[in-house]
Structure 1
Amino acid sequence: MPYSATERMSLRFRFSSRPAATQPIVLNEQAIVENLTQDKVKRMWATSRTWEDEQLYLVHDQGIAGITLPCTLVVKKFQNMNPALQVDDNVQYRYKSEMILLASNSHDNIIKVVDLIQREDAIMLVYEYPVNGSLQSWLHQPMDAGQPLSWPQRRAIAIGVAKGLCHLHHECKKPIVHHNINSSSILLDQNFKAVIASFDVAQMNMAGLGQPLPVTDLPPGNFGYAAPEYGRATNQVTEKADIYSFGVLLLVLVTGRVANGPGGNGLLATWAQKKCNELMANNLKMFKITVGKGMPNQARYMKEMATMFRLGVDCTVRDPQERPSMLKVLERLRRGRSPFRGLLTF
């Protein structure tokens, strides 16, 4: 059943309860709905493979004169496969699953829902839009080819994603497994702060941390990032699957390679597992060749990049029990000390 007016006001309070440096967003719902049908509206699918199963739009809200500033929003539209039909229980389930997860788990590094719009034929969740788009586009399809992400930016992005995952795994009332961490599901704000999006297949683990969750399908668009346990007969995974995906993300940030590119049967994680010791030998002479091309001041940050590469390898071991927790991962990222101190002499 649709929410009552009182319930919707309560949800909006929860959506907007995160402290913010800017003024709160006050939306013109009808203008947003009308803009979804106009030619100027851009489908986010055209520029970023984020959220694959629902209709996703970029909408430029003009704000309210004298009250709020213009802003860009993401509108995710839930409706029947036949848009002529009204909202049914299946549509209600799809949007409620995502809304409940996000409305109750506010964090600076997690996408923020700012409104819920209900119509007879559709339900729409409205998100703040991080203006710099997806990490995928900056790593592999740069908006400005002359300005690749610097190492300090990449390291800050890794720490931001780790903080968001730590919140999901360790700070929520019940652990949440994202299932779809990859460079397309990480968005970047105006300061290149990382924001985790794409909660379509996320699950709350009522049994607690470390307990298996039944998973029926490989996360959409996640090939190369998905942990090997997704393909096993038991079809049960824990939060350690997110840690595997995060490890791949670290390897991508360091090397600039795609997760399922050439080498290691097409998987970056497999290649890194096999080549790690060799790359770290001889004062990292081979590792220097591995680092992403075009990254400025590489020599200055080589030790930090090697440390993150090693952490990525540790996160992507095949046995989930041998992977570190996100708390340990975040600690290692923040510490930034190299486990190869005896080898790293330039």
Structure 2
Amino acid sequence: MVAEYGAGCAMRPLTWVGRHASALLILGFLTVPFFPISTETLRPFLPPLVVLVTALGFARQRLDRQSLQDLLPKRHVASGLVWLFVTQVLAALFTVVIGRAFGATSEQLIFIVAFFVAPPLSSAPNICLILGYDYVIALRLSVLGTFCAPVLMPLALSMSGMGFDVSGFEIALRVIGMLLGGIVLGVLIQVTFGPAKITRHADVLNGLAALAMIAFLFPLMSGAVVAVADTPRLAIALLSLAVTLNLAGNLLVRWIARKHMTSAQAASLGYVFGNRNLSLVLASLPFDPVLTLFVALMQAPIYATPALFSFIQRTRKPCQHSSES
């Protein structure tokens, strides 16, 4: 009885955080850049945070055989793998080929390549659900992207020929370590508490996820204000590039996809394309202050676009939902 009361008291703050997650995430995004700690100092905490965020995502996914078969039927797995290969490996290679044809240097292309080699954002399915988009297609691509990241990320980086000071094999080992750790921890959370309890206490898990995402901001954005003040022109250029890749990529893919699928599916596909897990790329490569600044500035459209699309969604007719089971 005492243990249950203590557990209930411990969950109340997390429940409150979960119910106010959106506001707290924006607050974290606006305050963390002012902390006077360099991202290089906090960089060792980035891989464990990747593990934690991955685990909290997988803890929600039912892992029984029937649920996995419903999520990953062979036909959709094949099309999902093609999508990931095209939008990660071929897109990175195309960027380098076209960029160099126009005289761009590796130092200029590295940011676009880093964007394309990254797998889909882990939180994309939940954001798509909140926005009324197709949850299943976002979840499918997110799960496949996570499982394929140890292969597709090193392959895309190697084929891009960008000359990172680390081998593709070493990158693969780092990615496998982080993602496998997250998957194992997520499975342990689900086995320990059970799917029913996790569903019943969804706000608690939302609270943990929100706290993890705020913690995630520290090795990405701590001290970012100083970096922006030191190099304002570079920061403006990187922010413009981040917004273009995220928002313009999202809308372009959505516009093309609407010719072939429902508006809800197209919206999910666009969102998944424009929102990538660049933190995984950053944690897998040697420290680069300019690339770190780019990833920090990329958080602006990642955090802002859900609010933007939510506002648009409220003023327009909702997306036509998928009939896919």
After TM superposition, the score normalised by the length of structure 1 is 0.26
**Larger fraction in strand:** 1
**Larger fraction in helix:** 2
After TM superposition, the score normalised by the length of structure 2 is 0.27
> Rg: which structure is higher?
1
Q: Which one scores higher on RCO, CA 8 angstroms, separation ≥ 6?
A: 2
